[in-house]
Structures are given as structure tokens and as C-alpha cells.
């Protein structure tokens, strides 16, 4: 038993031969007293629960460790200390981590569900946009066709307008020619009438004179 204690002390001495301000933890076996010196007696400063984190100042070959907790500096037997947190503290830490991860998973699940809904909504909007785009493309092609037809109609309208102007010009010329012909015909008839009247007057004047001469 003594050899076992010596071996434990040696192992603890090797383990705790560290620099100042390294950290150790009280094991989860019991509440540990901090003593004012390296003796067992009425020198307990305070009691610390298991799992308490301490600053290790030094460790001695006789199995004592000088520690600091808050503003308290004292001595504790080295075999009550461990370089790792106690199982109880580990469990608490793991429980906190588990609860935090569980909460995070729940939050991420809600966010995932929300994102899936947003994705579905975006897919539906994308489908609607594709339909609207297809309709817009069809309307665009229809408008372009109407525009092309309008250009053709405008071209035909210009052509018809030119033909109309040409026909008006020809009609005006024809009317002018007709009027000229009417005027010419009227003048010719007037001249013919005047000639006939002149000859009639001449005949009316000459014939009676000739008849009078024959009588005498």
C-alpha cells in the first residue's frame, strides 16, 4: 500500500510539475479543504466542491500542491487533484453542450423548414415567371407581326395615295381637256353659226336683188 502511495505521488509529481498559472480540477470524490499550510490540522481556510477549477502554483515532492482560487492561496494534497475536469463537470458540460446542440438543431430544423418553404415559393414564382415570360414572348412576336403588317399597310397606303394623286392629276387633266374640247366645240359652232348667218344674210340680200334685175 505504501509503494502504491509512493508511486501515485511520483506520478502526480511528474504530472503536476508544470509552470505557474496552469489549471487543475478537484476530483468528484468529495469537497476538498484548502489549508493554510502543508499540515493536517485546524488550518482549513475553506472548502471547495468537486469539479472546482484551481490555478496550480507549485507541487512538492511530499505530495502537496499550492493552489490559488479567487484571492485565496493555500495547500491541497496532490492526489485529490486531476488535470482534467471531474466526471460530474464533464457531464454538466456535455449536458449543456447537448442541450445547446439540441436547441441549435431545433432552430436549424425550423430554419430549414422555412428555407424549404421559401424555396418552394421561389419555385412557384419561377414557374409563374416562366409562364409570364412565355406569354410575353408570344405577345412580343404578335406585336412584331402587327408592326410588320402595319409597315406593309403603310407602304401600301403610301402607294395608294400616290396612285390616288396620280389619278386626280389625270382626272384634272381629263376634265381640263374636256372643258377645252367643249370650249373649242362651242366656239366652232359659234363660228359655223356666224358663217351660216352671214351667208344667209348674203343670200337674203343678193337673191332678191337678182330677182329684181330679172324683172326689169
| Residue 53: pLDDT over 50 | yes
d(CA 35, CA 196) in angstroms, rounded, equals 171
192 in a structural domain: no
Confidence of residue 101 (pLDDT cuts 50, 70, 90): very high
Q: With a threshold of 0.75, does the pTM exceed it?
A: no
Do residue 37 and residue 105 come from a single domain? Answer: no
Question: What digits encode the pLDDT tens for the residues 136-176?
Answer: 888 888 898 898 888 888 888 888 888 888 888 888 888 88
| Residue 12: pLDDT over 70 | no
Output the pLDDT for position 116: 92
197 in a structural domain: no
Do residue 147 and residue 111 come from a single domain? Answer: yes
Do residue 116 and residue 126 come from a single domain? Answer: yes
What is the CA angle 29-33-35, rounded to 5?
145
189 in a structural domain: no
Do residue 138 and residue 124 come from a single domain? Answer: yes
Do residue 46 and residue 107 come from a single domain? Answer: no
Do residue 79 and residue 53 come from a single domain? Answer: yes
Strand residues in 18-128 grouped as ranges (E): 22-26, 32-35, 44-48, 53-59, 64-69, 72-77, 81-82
Output the pLDDT for position 204: 72
150 in a structural domain: yes
Choose the final residue of a domain: 58, 85, 112: 85
156 in a structural domain: yes
Do residue 132 and residue 77 come from a single domain? Answer: no
170 in a structural domain: no
Domain count, the chain: 2
Do residue 79 and residue 94 come from a single domain? Answer: no
Confidence of residue 82 (pLDDT cuts 50, 70, 90): confident
Choose the final residue of a domain: 85, 113, 143: 85
| Listed ranges 12-26, 97-111, 195-209; the one with the highest mean pLDDT | 97-111
185 in a structural domain: no
> Among residues 59, 50, 57, which one has the least CA distance to residue 10?
59
> Among residues 55, 53, 60, 113, which one has the least CA distance to residue 85?
53
| Residue 51: pLDDT over 80 | no
151: containing domain: 87-160
Do residue 67 and residue 91 come from a single domain? Answer: no
Confidence of residue 10 (pLDDT cuts 50, 70, 90): very low
Average pLDDT over residues 42-70: 87
Confidence of residue 30 (pLDDT cuts 50, 70, 90): low
Output the pLDDT for position 66: 92
Do residue 105 and residue 156 come from a single domain? Answer: yes
> CATH number of the domain that 46 lies in?
2.30.30.40
Q: What integer best gives the mean pLDDT of the chain?
A: 80
| Residue 184: pLDDT over 60 | yes
Percentage of the chain modeled with pLDDT above 70: 82
Do residue 44 and residue 111 come from a single domain? Answer: no
Amino acid at each position: 500500500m505504501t509503494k502504491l502511495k509512493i508511486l501515485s505521488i511520483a506520478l502526480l509529481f511528474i504530472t503536476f510539475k508544470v509552470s505557474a498559472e496552469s489549471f487543475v480540477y478537484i476530483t468528484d470524490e468529495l469537497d476538498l479543504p484548502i489549508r493554510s499550510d502543508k499540515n493536517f490540522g485546524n488550518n482549513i481556510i475553506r472548502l471547495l466542491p468537486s469539479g472546482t477549477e484551481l490555478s496550480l502554483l507549485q507541487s512538492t515532492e511530499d505530495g502537496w500542491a499550492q493552489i490559488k482560487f479567487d484571492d485565496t492561496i493555500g495547500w491541497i494534497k496532490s492526489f485529490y487533484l486531476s488535470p482534467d475536469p471531474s466526471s460530474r463537470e464533464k457531464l454538466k458540460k456535455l449536458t449543456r453542450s447537448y442541450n445547446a446542440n439540441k436547441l441549435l438543431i431545433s432552430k436549424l430544423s425550423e430554419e430549414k423548414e422555412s428555407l424549404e418553404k421559401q424555396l418552394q415559393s421561389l419555385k412557384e414564382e419561377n414557374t409563374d415567371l416562366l409562364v409570364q415570360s412565355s406569354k410575353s414572348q408570344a405577345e412580343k412576336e404578335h406585336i412584331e407581326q402587327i408592326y410588320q403588317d402595319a409597315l406593309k399597310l403603310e407602304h401600301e397606303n403610301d402607294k395608294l395615295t400616290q396612285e390616288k394623286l396620280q389619278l386626280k392629276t389625270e382626272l384634272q387633266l381629263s376634265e381640263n381637256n374636256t372643258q377645252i374640247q367643249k370650249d373649242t366645240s362651242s366656239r366652232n359652232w359659234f363660228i359655223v353659226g356666224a358663217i351660216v348667218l352671214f351667208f344667209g344674210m348674203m343670200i337674203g340680200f343678193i337673191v332678191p336683188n337678182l330677182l329684181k334685175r330679172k324683172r326689169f
